[in-house]
Amino acid sequence: MTAFQPRVFSGVQPTGNLHLGNYLGAVSRWVPLQDQMPTIFCVVDSHAITAGFPDPVELSEATREVTAAYMAAGIDPTKSIIFNQSQVREHAELAWIFNCVARMGWLSRMTQFKEKAGKNKENASVGLFAYPNLMAADILAYRATHVPVGDDQKQHLELTRDIAAKFNNDFGERIKELGIGVPNPTPSPELPEQLYFPLTEPMIAGPATRIMSLRDGTKKMSKSDPSDLSRINLTDDSDTIAKKIRKAKTDPDALPSAVEGLADRPEADNLVGIYAALGGLSKEDVLKDFGGQQFSAFKPALSELAVAKLSPMTDEMRRLMDDKVQIDSVLKDGAEKASAIAEPVLKDVRRIIGFLDVR
Binding-site positions read 13-15, 21-22, 138, 150-152, 211, 220-224
Map the footprint of ligand AQP across residues 332-351, applying CB under 6 A. Answer: none
User: If binding is defined by CB under 6 A, does position 220 make contact with ligand AQP?
Assistant: yes
Q: How far apart are CA 270 and CA 313, in angstroms?
A: 22
Stretch that binds ligand AQP, among 101-109, 119-127, 145-153, 237-245 (CB under 6 A): 145-153
User: Which one of residues 89, 161, 174, 223 is an interface residue with ligand AQP (CB under 6 A)?
Assistant: 223
Stretch that binds ligand AQP, among 18-26, 90-98, 257-265, 346-354 (CB under 6 A): 18-26
Q: How far apart are CA 163 and CA 154, in angstroms?
A: 14
Question: Is residue 216 within 8 Å of residue 249, measured between CB atoms?
Answer: yes
Binding-site annotation: residue ranges for ATP: 13-15, 21-22, 150-152, 211, 220-224
Question: Is residue 101 within 8 Å of residue 167, measured between CB atoms?
Answer: yes
The yes-or-no answer on residue 223 being catalytic is yes
User: If binding is defined by CB under 6 A, does position 222 make contact with ligand AQP?
Assistant: yes
Q: Which one of 116, 166, 176, 243 is the catalytic residue?
A: 116
Map the footprint of ligand AQP across residues 198-217, applying CB under 6 A. Answer: 208-211
Residue with Cβ nearer ligand AQP (216 or 348): 216
User: If binding is defined by CB under 6 A, does position 176 make contact with ligand AQP?
Assistant: no
Residue with Cβ nearer ligand AQP (107 or 191): 107
Q: Which one of 166, 223, 243, 283 is the catalytic residue?
A: 223
User: If binding is defined by CB under 6 A, does position 38 make contact with ligand AQP?
Assistant: no
User: If binding is defined by CB under 6 A, does position 303 make contact with ligand AQP?
Assistant: no
Q: Catalytic residue positions?
A: 116, 220, 223
Which residues are near ligand AQP by CB under 6 A?
A: 12-13, 15, 21-22, 25-26, 149-150, 152-153, 208-211, 220-224
